[in-house]
Structure 1
Amino acid sequence: MREGVTTASSVRSIDGYGERALHWLVLSGNRIAVAAVLLAAVVGVFATLTQVGLLAVGPRSAAASAFASGFISGTVTLVTIALSINQLILSRVFGSPDELFEQLDGTRDLRRRVRDHAGDAVVPNDPAEFLGLVAETLTERANRLDSARRNADADLPDELGDYAAGIAAYGESITAKIESGTAIVNVLEVILGTEYARNLTATEQVRNEYGDRLSETATAELDAIEDLLEAIAVTRQFFKTLSLQQDFARLSRVVAYTGLLALVVSVALALVYRPDSVTVPAGTLPLVVSVGIGVIVTPMAVFIAYMFRAATIARQTVSVGPFAPPADRTDDG
């Protein structure tokens, strides 16, 4: 094979505490837990700054006007954004019968392809089990290709065996990281890397260089491998759509709940202040304001937590075919 065209024998792994923490923050972590971490940081910063006197929250400060106007308008704006997102999700669900049948036919065609290559009577509905079946079938087909190479009359180079071994290892690595019954986003993150694209390119290179020397059996196995790699590419995009739709639907609901609470707290904190005094002991005012601000920014924290994951998924699944997404390019800014 030409220099620089190699197979990816495993999906990407997250190493190091910093990388794992960042991965949890932007992708794998529960979004409510991520929002809670952001809120804890906000409350901690405000509590510290008010205790040391860098932020004024006393009776004659501008805190009352901030709670009465700025925070209320910001909360209403954020809730409006959440409702707009909800409308976007609904627009993706609706469709004419012809459009819905077309979507159904596309999904059934993907399942039919996998079923034919796997030789199973039924393809599982669970996303994790479906991807696991694709990976297991990919490994099996790669091993068959290697057997056909070794049993062939023609003298085939060892590079073809290395290719088959790499594809088989790639399928095994996917299988090892898949757990049945997990959320779609956890299944999706296994195949977010560019490994499938590299393997598609390697498959095309093998076909161009050795296709005329392969037996019918080996050619059939190579066709199946290419079809299964394409199935991984399509499955990745389909799971991305499902994952983002689920996340945005949850986001609109949670922001609506927390937005109402934030609005009530904003009004309550504004009424705590009198012209020359407050209705709570002055000593507890920094804590009350810090916690109140934490409640008020809860919708924003939830929004940011979900946007972290949406932006990460969208960035790393830009490409459908054998191209490296911008996130993995060394010249990306």
Structure 2
Amino acid sequence: MVIVDELNDLRDSPTRWVFLVGSRPILGICLFVGFLFVFYGLWAAGLVRFTNQTAILYILSSLVGGNLTLVTLVISINQVIISRQLGSPGELREDIEKVNEYRRQAIDPDRTEVVPVTPSDFLKLLLESIRRDLQRLGGLTASADDEQLRADTDDIVTNLTEHVDRVDRLIEGNGAGTFDTLSALLTTNYADRIYQIRRLRSRHREALSESATDLTDDIVSKLQEIDVARQYFKTLYIQTELAYISRVLLYAGVVAEVVLISSLLVLSSAGETAAVRALPSASVPAIAAVGLLPLAVLFSYALRLAVVTQRTIAITPFTTPEQEDELHL
């Protein structure tokens, strides 16, 4: 069922699947199969011949050294993650108090007595609160005498409400995980939306009622709270993903090293004439592909990490050209 859903996502948007929403293990397997296809294609076409034992030994030795470097990288990543998780009771208590303070400020206590603990439910409350404020703002300006004010307000309310509805649908469709919630916020540009609201208030300062002005302040504040939530979810996702990458890379690295070193031992033990019988040429492309397995794993996970970082690199009130470009995701 999971594979069927992934294939459906692939048909809907191949670029989005590869860069963002696709299963990283499935993408890594696709890359590994691609390596096999290329290597066996070259061998079947007669473009390469695995008869030179020295060349094969050189290639396998290079792969062994490269994978050992990846294992060292894994250890470094684990050290960084562990250092981020360590802390004294006082530091941990301070972090908890800051998170609780943010939750109290972001959610209206008059409407919600208990704040949800999952990222998706917390974000839904923020979106619902913004939707209510937008409807109230539209109602307050609907009877205004200034036609331009009504037009400008209606444009902001319509566009922002459509955005809130779209993000809400994405959350419902993705799931309740941290990345599922974060992915729904990757194509947002709250800096631009906040700028539009503040420009509306500046242009129609005299025509806006006090209640409407207060509502624009509330909407801006809640959009900023969503941006804070997005950055926090990104921090949680990156820490979790780096830990997972470390584990998967260790698995792939051990498999690759065992296969490569075993092949090297076989070739080294065999004579020049017996090397072909000891290690058939048909097995060399598969061995080379296994040697590149850690690279396939690293590529599949690092690609999404890079996209997430690029899409959230700036915080409100600033934006970047990379965040303006949606990359068709």
TM-score range relative to shorter protein = 0.7 to 0.9
Give the structure 2 partner of residue 12 of structure 1. Answer: none
Give the structure 1 partner of residue 5 of structure 2. Answer: none
Structure 1 CA distance for aligned equivalents of residues 234 and 26 of structure 2: 21
CA contact (8 A) 1:35 1:301 kept: yes
- What's the CA shift for 1:94? 1.8
**Residues 326 and 96 from structure 1, CA distance in 2 versus in 1: closer, same or farther, beyond 3 angstroms?**
farther
**Residues 200 and 308 from structure 1, CA distance in 2 versus in 1: closer, same or farther, beyond 3 angstroms?**
same
Structure 1 CA distance for aligned equivalents of residues 68 and 120 of structure 2: 39
CA contact (8 A) 1:136 1:172 kept: no
Match of 1:47 among 40, 44, 48: 40
CA contact (8 A) 1:194 1:324 kept: no
- What's the CA shift for 1:238? 0.7
1:275 aligns with 2:271: yes
- What's the CA shift for 1:53? 2.7
TM-score, length-scaled by structure 1: 0.85
Give the structure 2 partner of residue 79 of structure 1. Answer: 71
Give the structure 2 partner of residue 322 of structure 1. Answer: 317
- What's the CA shift for 1:57? 1.8
Match of 1:116 among 105, 108, 119: 108
- What's the CA shift for 1:140? 1.1
Structure 1 CA distance for aligned equivalents of residues 283 and 57 of structure 2: 13
Mapping for residues 114-263 of structure 1, pairs under 5 Å: 114-116=106-108, 119-150=111-142, 157-158=149-150, 159-179=152-172, 181-263=175-257
Amino acid at match of 2:100: R
CA contact (8 A) 2:106 2:126 kept: yes
**Residues 54 and 170 from structure 1, CA distance in 2 versus in 1: closer, same or farther, beyond 3 angstroms?**
same
Amino acid at match of 1:84: S
Structure 2 CA distance for aligned equivalents of residues 117 and 215 of structure 1: 25
CA contact (8 A) 1:272 1:278 kept: no
Runs of 4+ that moved beyond 6 A: 16-19, 152-156
- What's the CA shift for 1:178? 1.0
**Residues 186 and 25 from structure 1, CA distance in 2 versus in 1: closer, same or farther, beyond 3 angstroms?**
same
Classify the secondary structure of the residue corresponding to 1:62: helix
CA RMSD across the alignment: 2.7
Give the structure 1 partner of residue 18 of structure 2. Answer: 25
Q: Which moved more, 1:224-233 or 1:163-172?
A: 163-172
Q: Unmatched 5+ residue regions in structure 2?
A: 1-8
CA contact (8 A) 2:149 2:204 kept: no
1:66 aligns with 2:59: yes
Classify the secondary structure of the residue corresponding to 2:133: helix
Q: Percent identity between the aligned chains? A: 31
CA contact (8 A) 2:36 2:286 kept: yes
Q: Which moved more, 1:34-43 or 1:161-170?
A: 161-170
CA contact (8 A) 1:57 1:289 kept: yes
Give the structure 2 partner of residue 13 of structure 1. Answer: none
CA contact (8 A) 1:57 1:286 kept: yes
Give the structure 2 partner of residue 4 of structure 1. Answer: none
- What's the CA shift for 1:217? 2.7
- What's the CA shift for 1:142? 0.3
Structure 2 CA distance for aligned equivalents of residues 141 and 292 of structure 1: 61
**Residues 281 and 183 from structure 1, CA distance in 2 versus in 1: closer, same or farther, beyond 3 angstroms?**
farther
- What's the CA shift for 1:91? 1.6
CA contact (8 A) 2:28 2:296 kept: yes
